[in-house]
Amino acid sequence: MPDVIVVGSGMNSLVCAALLARAGQKVTVVERSDVLGGCIRTEELFPGFTHDLLSQWYPLFMGGPAYGELADELAARGVEFANTSKPTGVLTGDGRSLVLTTDRAENVTRFEAAAAGDGERYAAEMDAFLSRDAELAFGLLGQELWSWGAARTLFSHGRRRGFVELAAFLGESLEPARPWLERTFASETARALVSPWMLHVGLRPDDAYSAVMSKVILAALEMGGMPVVVGGSARIVEAFRQIVVDRGGEMRTGAEVDRVLVEGGRAVGVRLVGGEELRASKAVVCNVTPTQLYGRLLEGVEMPDQFRVRAARYRYGRSDMQIHYALDARPDWVDPDLADVAIVHLCDSVDAQSQAMNEADRGLLPGRATVVVGQPCAVDASRAPEGKWIIWIQLQELPAAPRGDALGEIGVAGSWTPEVGEAYADRIQGRLDQAMPGFSRLVVGRRVLTPADLEAMNPNLVGGDPYSGACTVDQFFLWRPFPGAKGHQTPVKGLYHIGASTHPGPGLGGGSGFLVAKALS
């Protein structure tokens, strides 16, 4: 009998299982898919090209506490990270561009070239955040909010800066990104460099607390770059598997959980689809959405009614679509400075981004979306044959059930079909031809993953939402996954909830898995 059963095998599950195994506990991980990794999945879509299908960038993990504890173990099992000095950039429709580097002085020069004074204001904002607010912001994101540790952190900062000023910081942290960007940068290009990063935390530039998240992201990119796993992310999944198995644990694929077994008000194991029961002596940890946990997995289990009601109200965000390209050669950007940037956003302005998100919220395919252009070969050349290239496209301003097209060009009927996906990909490829003239002539392979495809690959991506739930303030911080939930605890003793639907939210940081592993160690 294992000490702990972990349901699901995404990054948080892998971190949790590895840390528990290192602490001497026997762990069994059960995964419904035939491959481990959750949203970490590597495939050779086209001969010789190694594609990370869903997620692939690791700044949150390498900057977090889980990596600090597991770095040596991962390296001993062959995990190597490659990084870049140019993590991100932006290209607007009229050809303006700006690149953020990992060098502060270089960034000041680049922002200053965009508009007089922007470099100085960028430096002032980053200096103020890093010297005054970063410790508190990262500290709260890195620990259980429903804990004495979080209370001590707030009290310590209150004594240091004054409780009125602490309250002022918390209030100012609710500011949306748009007014902060407009106040800070004169250049529309500088604003367009920052605002698309709100997509990567499930927000829009007009949402509460998006300004402070912009500063968190800028600081993380400038300090940490945009690392990837050399050779593909499957290598880190395999290393995690070895850490668990080497210590007597087990990782099972093709094992879908039907129910959490509860006896005497305590979780004692799980029942798989097909009837097999697995027991755990200490705890069950579920990396699922709240609708799955409090619906199917805990069906019939006695608990306060508000948990089921609030879980049923849990909202999912806008949908994601991915396009994977194999190219016969490295493309030529209209600005050569973008050729070796890890992630380039095609974004005209903050207003253009808001318009695309509004169209998606109304069930429309956006006319001019924000395009996330990932260039993994700019960081890790081993992903493609010599002289060739990979482009990884992410589109996060889409409806789960499209009812129309903002341009009236694509026929839709309320669902994502392969035909709709390919038609929308053609629209995006037209944008790529403008940004990289001759792009289409280089394409040797294209794979489109619609929101429906993403949910089929991973049921946590409900409706194609890459973040397993809307990240607006009513479903974040103390209130993730929903008001009334107490962090990663559940009303069932011995049952813990981790994953993107829980604090500190989505991303490849492994934060919730780390916190629960520490609580169980």
Shared-domain flag, residues 170 and 263: no
What CATH number corresponds to the domain at position 276? Answer: 3.50.50.60
Quick: pLDDT tens for 31-44: 999 999 999 999 99
- Give the domain-ending residue among 166, 194, 224: 224
* Nearest one of 363, 369, 358, 359 to 322, comparing CA atoms: 369
Tell me if 96 is assigned to some domain: no
* Nearest one of 80, 77, 99, 101 to 90, comparing CA atoms: 99
Q: Where are the alpha helices (DSSP H) in 362-510?
A: 418-435, 439-442, 451-457
* Nearest one of 204, 171, 194, 6 to 98, comparing CA atoms: 194
pLDDT category at 140 given cuts 50, 70, 90 is confident
pLDDT at position 368 is 97
Q: 356 phi and psi, to 5 degrees?
A: -65, -40
- Give the domain-ending residue among 224, 242, 268: 224
Q: List Cα–Cα distances, 375 to 51, 87, 388, 481, in angstroms.
A: 11, 10, 12, 33
Burial of 302 (0-12, 13-18, 19+ CB in 10 A): exposed
Shared-domain flag, residues 114 and 67: no
| pLDDT > 90? residue 447 | yes
Tell me if 52 is assigned to some domain: no
Shared-domain flag, residues 323 and 451: yes
Quick: pLDDT tens for 220-230: 999 999 999 99
Tell me if 448 is assigned to some domain: yes
Shared-domain flag, residues 306 and 322: no
Tell me if 92 is assigned to some domain: no
| pLDDT > 90? residue 169 | no
CA distance 328 to 335: 20
Assigned token pair, 292: 């799955």
Question: Which SS3 state, helix, strand or coil, does residue 20 take?
Answer: helix
CA distance 97 to 91: 4
Shared-domain flag, residues 293 and 324: no
- Token pair 């499930």 is found at 202
Q: Which residues pair with 482 in a beta bridge?
A: none
Quick: pLDDT tens for 306-358: 999 999 999 999 999 999 999 999 999 999 999 999 999 999 999 999 999 99
Shared-domain flag, residues 330 and 442: yes
Pairing of strands 228-229, 266-272: unpaired
Shared-domain flag, residues 137 and 204: yes
pLDDT at position 456 is 96
Shared-domain flag, residues 371 and 483: no
Shared-domain flag, residues 69 and 116: no
pLDDT at position 453 is 97
Phi-psi sector, 8: left (phi>0), alpha (psi -120 to 50), beta: left
Tell me if 73 is assigned to some domain: yes
Q: List Cα–Cα distances, 507 to 109, 203, 207, 347, 512, in angstroms.
A: 30, 13, 19, 22, 10
Tell me if 90 is assigned to some domain: no
DSSP 345-377: EE---HHHHHHHHHHHHTTEE-SS--EEEE-GG
Element (H, E) at 290: helix 290-292
| 8 A C-beta contact, residue 275 and residue 261 | no
Shared-domain flag, residues 303 and 352: no
Tell me if 210 is assigned to some domain: yes
| pLDDT > 90? residue 516 | yes
Pairing of strands 250-252, 27-30: parallel
- Give the domain-ending residue among 173, 196, 224: 224
pLDDT at position 430 is 98
Quick: pLDDT tens for 470-493: 999 999 999 999 999 999 999 999
DSSP assignment letter at 257: E
Shared-domain flag, residues 453 and 329: yes
Quick: pLDDT tens for 406-441: 999 999 989 999 999 999 999 999 999 999 999 999
- Token pair 């194999």 is found at 326
CA distance 158 to 166: 5
* CB-based burial, 464-493: b 16+ in 10 Å, e otherwise: bbbbbbbbbbebbbebbbbeebebbebbbe
Quick: pLDDT tens for 360-373: 999 999 999 999 99
Shared-domain flag, residues 323 and 370: yes
Question: Which SS3 state, helix, strand or coil, does residue 199 take?
Answer: helix
Q: How much is the mean pLDDT over the chain?
A: 96
Containing structural domain, residue 267: 4-40+57-80+230-314+468-520
Tell me if 212 is assigned to some domain: yes
Domain total in the chain: 3
Q: What is the pTM of this model?
A: 0.96
Q: Which residues contact 255 (CB under 8 A, 6 or more apart)?
A: 30, 31, 32, 272
Q: List Cα–Cα distances, 382 to 46, 51, 228, 373, 390, in angstroms.
A: 14, 11, 11, 19, 11
Residue type, 389: W
CA distance 484 to 482: 6
